[in-house]
Amino acid sequence: MKRMTKTFSATILCIIVITVSCMLGPVTAATSAETAASYVAVTKLTVEPESFMSDDTGTITVEISNSGSVPVAIYRAEILYEDVRVLNYQTYDSVGSIGPGNTMQFTFRVQPTKGDGMYFPMFYLDYTDAGSLRYPVPLDVDSTPVVVSIVDSPASFSAGTKEQVILSVSNPRKNAVNSVTIIPRGEGIETTQSSIFVGTLEPDAEKKATFEITAEKDTTLSFDVSYRNGNNQHRVSLAIPVIVGDGGTAAEMVVNNVEIVQSGSTVTLSGDITNAGLRDAKSVKVTVGDPAKPVDPNPVYVIGALEPDDFSSFEVTCMVQGASSVPLIIQYRDTDGKVFEKRVDISLRNAALPSSGSAGSSLQGMQGGNPGGRPGGMFGFGNGISKVPFTEIIIIIVACLAVAVAWRKGYLAKAADKIRNRPGR
């Protein structure tokens, strides 16, 4: 009887030990899993683009690492937030384990659904045996666009002449934008550059772009600026009116100090040509048109290049009979080689030209818009220094000095006394 009692007691003790072990086993295992999961942490976070614009899509990349000594089982990973749409939802519904000393990345394609502001979607990591990890992700939404403005542009364009338009492109955003490209457009517009690639604009950075524009008529010139914020394409435009008139910056030929001299049947036209424009004039040459006929020795007078505000004299010989005016023709080129021509009617003042063999004569002409002719005579010279009569001026100065010396020496008084004391007076 005593032996049966001992056997029963031993059996009961074994049952109690097994029961307690079964109860403590899961607790110990759970405690070990929680301890292992505590070594898992977010070690890197990347949001691209750094600042979203309205309707932009981008990515949130989260990197985790296990600094512990045992693997950690992960059930799933996701982004939780009602104001951010996850475009690759359920991609990480089954993850697996992360080993000790290893890293793992999760990339989510997202699109904010609210307006400008700062949001904090939650990165959620659900462990298989040990609860979860939550990590807030700062996400900025700012719809401020790239700014384009005019730095320099002519008030009016000269028809067929290249004019410079300088643009400024600046980035007032918090993040860099990429692939900035400027394209000019407009009806009746020709450009040397079909587009200009600006490239990357860092925050608060500015770059300039220069376009050479040729306009044939009044129109609207538009500049389309495209750029990327992350992988999102954006566009802004700037339009300016183009007025074609005489107020441009092209070279402008002005004729002054015209003099007409005839010798027999040949008429010589001379004067000055000034470049009153803001651009260089190349290959400037002067001749005459019908009814005049250019003849030797100067049928065509070549001046060459004239810079802005520069002038040069010219002299052209021609034959003309019975005409009241002569068309003076000035031809020149711009820096691109385009040929321009200006015609100026030189009045002969309705004077009849002598027939062949008559004595030489001199007439004064004028350029249309230059009032009056130049006075003739000994002092009939223009603005050119080569036309000043130095010899006559020197003779007059010497004569005046001689009279002054004679008066100071008393020679004039003595001469006057002799005249008064002459016999017979």
pLDDT of residue 7: 57
**Residue 363 in contact with residue 263, Cβ under 8 Å?**
no
Whether pLDDT at 221 is above 60? yes
CB atoms within 10 A of CB 221: 23
pLDDT single digits (tens) 223-239: 999 999 999 999 999 99
Backbone angles phi and psi of 6, in degrees to 5: -65, -40
Higher-pLDDT residue of 95 and 379 is 95
pTM value is: 0.60
Q: Stretch 76-84: mean pLDDT, rounded?
A: 92
For residue 369, the SS3 value is coil
b/e sequence 238-257, b meaning 16+ C-beta within 10 Å = beeebebeeebbbbbbbbbb
Among 99-113, 156-170, 337-351, name the most confident range: 99-113
What domains appear along the chain, each with residue ranges and CATH number? 40-141 (2.60.40.10), 147-242 (2.60.40.10), 253-374 (2.60.40)
Tokens representing 105?
């990345």
CB atoms within 10 A of CB 281: 26
Whether pLDDT at 313 is above 60? yes
Whether pLDDT at 370 is above 90? no
Q: Which residues are paired to 319 by β-bridges?
A: 266, 293
pLDDT single digits (tens) 163-206: 899 999 999 999 999 999 999 999 999 999 999 999 999 999 99
Among 105-119, 250-264, 339-353, 366-380, name the most confident range: 105-119
Rounded Cα distance, 208 and 151, in Å: 8
pLDDT grade, residue 390 (50/70/90)? low
CB atoms within 10 A of CB 87: 12
Cα distance between the two ends of the chain: 202
**Residue 366 in contact with residue 387, Cβ under 8 Å?**
no
Q: Which residues are paired to 315 by β-bridges?
A: 270
pLDDT grade, residue 15 (50/70/90)? low
Higher-pLDDT residue of 346 and 6 is 346
Q: Which of 269, 266, 191 is nearest to 223 (CA)?
A: 191
Q: Between β-strands 51-52 and 139-141, what pairing exists: parallel, antiparallel or unpaired?
A: parallel
For residue 182, the SS3 value is strand
Q: Stretch 271-275: mean pLDDT, rounded?
A: 93
pLDDT of residue 418: 67
Backbone angles phi and psi of 367, in degrees to 5: -90, 140
Whether pLDDT at 108 is above 90? yes
Q: Between β-strands 361-364 and 253-263, what pairing exists: parallel, antiparallel or unpaired?
A: antiparallel
Contacts of 328 (CB under 8 A, 6+ apart): 255, 258, 269, 286, 288, 316, 343, 344, 345, 346, 367
Q: Stretch 62-79: mean pLDDT, rounded?
A: 95
pLDDT of residue 199: 96
What single DSSP character describes residue 247?
-
pLDDT of residue 372: 39
**Residue 189 in contact with residue 215, Cβ under 8 Å?**
yes
CB atoms within 10 A of CB 44: 11
For the chain, the average pLDDT equals 82
pLDDT of residue 389: 64
CB atoms within 10 A of CB 141: 19
CB atoms within 10 A of CB 405: 11
Whether pLDDT at 280 is above 90? no
pLDDT of residue 402: 76
pLDDT grade, residue 113 (50/70/90)? very high
Whether pLDDT at 306 is above 60? yes
